[in-house]
């Protein structure tokens, strides 16, 4: 890990690959490729390096979190539906002890009751909700400010 540049792993969970198609009234018409471009641009503007990864599979996300130890200074995680169900993702985050900011495109606190509980938040240093793509930039800023000032 380069100590001069904050390296961030951006992990996205299930169905985010369907941005632009899935419930556009909630998530908008921009695509996952648009999100990746936005994250890369934001990271560069903030002086951070980032790797972006998306999976629909819980175990793959757990594997990526575990492999991040010693490689990344921070994680930005949109666990999507796994936010509300995955103790495995929570346990992986706690095990690797990498500062993590949880992010959601929509405000999960104002959605269906089952979406209002987050296992991820139990391990996250901060949670950013309801800011669309801009939430990812804010999450990276939180990590940068906490880790390198």
Which runs of consecutive H residues, i.e. helices, occur in the chain? 24-27, 32-46, 58-67, 87-96, 134-147
Q: Tens digits of per-residue pLDDT, 62-79?
A: 999 999 999 999 999 999
For residue range 43-63, list pLDDT tens digits in order: 999 999 999 999 999 999 999
Per the residue annotation, which of 53, 57, 84, 104 is the catalytic one? 104
* 27 annotated active-site: yes
Mean pLDDT (the chain, rounded): 93
Length of the chain: 149
Order the strands of the 100-104 sheet from edge to edge: 48-54, 6-12, 74-78, 100-104, 126-129
Catalytic-role residue among 27, 72, 82, 119: 27
Domain 6-147 is found in CATH 3.40.50.1700: no
Instruction: Say whether pLDDT at 4 is over 80.
Output: no
Q: Is the pLDDT of residue 12 over 90?
A: yes
Contact 76, 36 (CB under 8 A): no
Is 104 among the catalytic positions? yes
Q: How confident is the model at residue 135 (pLDDT cuts 50, 70, 90)?
A: very high
The Cα–Cα gap between 18 and 111 comes to: 19
């Amino acid at each position: 890990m380069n100590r001069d540049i904050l390296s961030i792993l951006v992990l996205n969970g299930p169905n985010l690959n369907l941005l632009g198609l899935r419930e556009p009234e909630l998530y908008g018409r921009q695509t996952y490729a648009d999100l990746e471009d936005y994250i890369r641009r934001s990271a560069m503007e903030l002086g951070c390096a980032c790797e972006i990864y998306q999976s629909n599979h819980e175990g793959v996300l757990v594997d990526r979190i575990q492999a991040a130890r010693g490689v990344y200074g921070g994680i930005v995680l949109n666990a999507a539906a796994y936010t509300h169900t995955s103790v495995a993702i929570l346990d992986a985050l706690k095990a690797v002890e990498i500062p993590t900011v949880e992010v959601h495109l929509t405000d999960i606190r104002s959605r269906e009751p089952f979406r209002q509980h987050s296992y991820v938040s139990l391990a996250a240093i901060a949670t950013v909700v309801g800011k669309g793509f801009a939430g990812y930039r804010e999450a990276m800023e939180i990590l940068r400010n906490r880790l390198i000032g």
